Amino acid sequence: MTSLPTHTEKRLGLAIDLDTCVGCQACVTACKGWNDQGSGLSDQDPYGAAPSGAFLNRVHSYEITPDHGAAVIVNFPRSCLHCEDAPCVPVCPTGASYKRVEDGIVLVNEDACIGCGLCAWACPYGAREMDADVGVMKKCTLCVDRIYNDHLPEEDRVPACVRTCPTGARHFGDFADPDSTVSKLTAARGGYDLMPDLGTRPTNKYLPARPKDVPDMSAPLAPLLDIQATGFAGWLDKVLGKI
Amino acid sequence: MHPAPSVIAFTVLSGMGFGLLAFLGAGLPAPVGWPAFFHWGLGYSLAVGGLLASTFHLGNPQRFLRAFTQWRSSWLSREAIASVACLLALAPVALSDWLGLGWPRALGLIGAVLALATIFCTAMIYAQLKTIPRWNHPTTPALFVVFAGAGGAILAGQSGAGLMLSALLALVLLAAFSIGDGAFAARAQTLGTATGLGTIGPVQGAVRVFEQPHTSPNYLMREMIYLVARKHIRPLRRLALICAAILPAVLLAILPPAPWAFAVIAAVHLLGAFAARWLFFAQAEHVVGLYYGQR
């Protein structure tokens, strides 16, 4: 049944630090690379004039213009938020979409998906993309085939996007545990939900950008003008000033 | 939203077909013999043809049987079940009318209710989506049910009911247009609220798209951001309103209740219905467009 569980034991998800993300797109590439196994994430015309393909993670770039000071660029990764009240799950007519009771991960059973696309319509975050080759909906699995995989070294048992992020902007953990890194980060940094008014109760949290340092631009060279030369340099300074 | 021809054909044709089946099930009219065969045949072909058309937009239509399993949560599943239940319930009634068997019509009334339920379920697939403010309103089920009623009445040759339902359709269309136009703005969702940027946290200010995440359109943009022909909205709205509702109401009042007249009126209505349903999809804006700075 595609009814949502009333409670999940864990609430696994990501805390994404918008202050640290540099928009390098490494998480996009790592995600595509890892999830391109099996039925994969197909591309259409990948080396042609109009390349297109299914991705589970996209990184936008936005510009904030504050009332005072220079504009700030914020890179904004967007993937499945593994919502507690996921709107994509109950709309599914076949039971292919489901939310796991044990850890709250939202998944698609690709063998049961008829490719109607209604789940993607129901998602406000654009987290689901249809695979044009196999006609099945694809979405972030939170790398469910990595995080519980005993064959991988322990440091690799995190989602591929988290493992690859060179700036440590992506944090993986259990939001149901108040002592987890992600819970503490969210509390300390004021992590927030995307579009909370739609009632989806996302698990993933976004940590807002911090204010940038503002250098004193009034007279950056002012200290250099006050240098008082002494000794030989002082005598030279005086002589040269008279010529 | 991308106005997929298969979905437009499905919702219009099957809506009209189930509308006709509802009238026939209720015994309005109650033809006997070959006229019954052709009337019921038309209802069944439209309804079944529409359902088949709807499978053309599926990625894996061969798995369609699974769509009958999730009726507890999914309006799409409920629609599948209601439609098949309706077609099955009305089959003996159709047979009885055709062969003059005189079987009791109770099953016909049940089938008529199931036909209306099918149309309502179809509408709720769209009306339930909070992500598409224009659809997420009671005018959506009203529009679908009244459309099916008006189209069904015309095909069933019911001048009185057709006249009233066509007039009602004009009002519902106008209401859906005017309420729908303000629906997205009423949610007060912007790029800033969708991303939380500029409004949440210490860096406050106006937000704009600096760079898109990909260089050519993806599934989301093709499916949910549709910009091409919004400039044609006004003439298409006039076409929808006049052909689907006003002209059929006038023609039902002045033309004699002859089969050729109903055929003409049905063709005019169908033209308007296709225009209205195209607008229904093409004008619908999904909130995901906010992330791309487009709608």
Q: Does the pLDDT value for residue A1 go beyond 60?
A: no
pLDDT of residue B118: 97
How far off is chain A from B41, nearest CA to CA, in Å? 28
* Whole-number average pLDDT of chain B: 93
How far off is chain B from A236, nearest CA to CA, in Å? 51
Residue type, A184: K
B284 belongs to a structural domain = yes
| Closest residue, chain A, to B193 (C-alpha) | A195
The tens digit of pLDDT for each residue in B46-93 reads 999 988 888 888 999 999 999 999 999 999 999 999 999 999 999 999
Nearest CB neighbour to B73, from listed A3, A74, A115: A3
ipTM score: 0.93
CATH number reported for the structural domain that contains residue B59 in this entry: 1.20.1630.10
pLDDT of residue A219: 65
Q: Where are the alpha helices (DSSP H) in chain B?
A: 5-25, 34-54, 75-99, 106-127, 139-155, 159-186, 191-195, 219-224, 233-240, 247-254, 259-282
Residues of chain A found within 8 Å of residue B59, distances taken between Cβ atoms? 113-117, 130-131, 134-137
Cross-chain residue pair A94–B128, CB shorter than 8 Å: no
Q: Does the pLDDT value for residue A212 go beyond 80?
A: no
Cross-chain residue pair B131–A198, CB shorter than 8 Å: yes
Range B292-295 contact pairs with CB under 8 angstroms and sequence separation of 24 or more: B292/A60, B292/B209, B292/B212, B292/B220, B292/B221, B292/B225, B293/B191, B293/B208, B293/B209, B294/B221, B294/B225, B294/B227, B295/B184, B295/B225
Nearest CB neighbour to A62, from listed B1, B76, B208: B208
Q: Where are the alpha helices (DSSP H) in chain A?
A: 26-35, 118-122, 144-147, 160-164, 181-189, 222-225, 231-242
B154 belongs to a structural domain = yes
B202 belongs to a structural domain = no
How far off is chain A from B62, nearest CA to CA, in Å? 8
- CA-nearest of B93, B202, B112, B199 to B153 is B112
B211 belongs to a structural domain = no
Q: What is the mean pLDDT of residues A187-199?
A: 95
The tens digit of pLDDT for each residue in A73-126 reads 999 999 999 999 999 999 999 999 999 999 999 999 999 999 999 999 999 999
Cα-to-chain-centroid distance, residue B101: 35
Q: What is the mean pLDDT of residues A170-197?
A: 96
B32 belongs to a structural domain = yes
Q: If pLDDT is split at 50, 70 and 90, which confidence band does A69 have?
A: confident
Distance CA B74, CA B72 (A): 6
Q: Encoding tokens for residue A173?
A: 């953990």
Residues of chain B found within 8 Å of residue A123, distances taken between Cβ atoms? 131, 288
Phi-psi region of A123 (alpha: psi -120 to 50; beta: other; left: phi over 0): beta
Cross-chain residue pair B70–A2, CB shorter than 8 Å: yes
pLDDT of residue B54: 84
B191 belongs to a structural domain = no
Distance CA A62, CA A71 (A): 10
Task: Give yes or no for a contact between B122 and B15, defined as CB atoms under 8 angstroms apart.
Answer: yes
Distance CA A48, CA A46 (A): 6
Nearest CB neighbour to A63, from listed B187, B194, B210: B210
Which is more confidently placed, A58 or A211?
A: A58
pLDDT of residue B103: 87
Distance CA A243, CA B242 (A): 93
Distance CA B291, CA B223 (A): 14
B233 belongs to a structural domain = yes
Total domains present in chain B: 1
Phi-psi region of A201 (alpha: psi -120 to 50; beta: other; left: phi over 0): left
How far off is chain B from A56, nearest CA to CA, in Å? 11
| Closest residue, chain A, to B287 (C-alpha) | A124
The tens digit of pLDDT for each residue in A30-46 reads 999 999 887 789 999 99
CB proximity list for A148: less than 8 A, separation 6 or greater: A157
Q: Which residues of chain B have pLDDT under 50?
A: none
Note down the domain range covering B176.
5-184+217-292
pLDDT of residue A6: 87
Task: Give yes or no for a contact between B281 and B8, defined as CB atoms under 8 angstroms apart.
Answer: yes
pLDDT of residue B227: 74
Helix axes B139-155, B259-282, angle to 10 degrees: 160
pLDDT of residue B229: 61
Domains annotated on chain A, with CATH = 12-207 (3.30.70.20)
B150 belongs to a structural domain = yes
pLDDT of residue A215: 65
Q: How many CB atoms lie within 10 A of CB A241?
A: 7
pLDDT of residue A124: 97
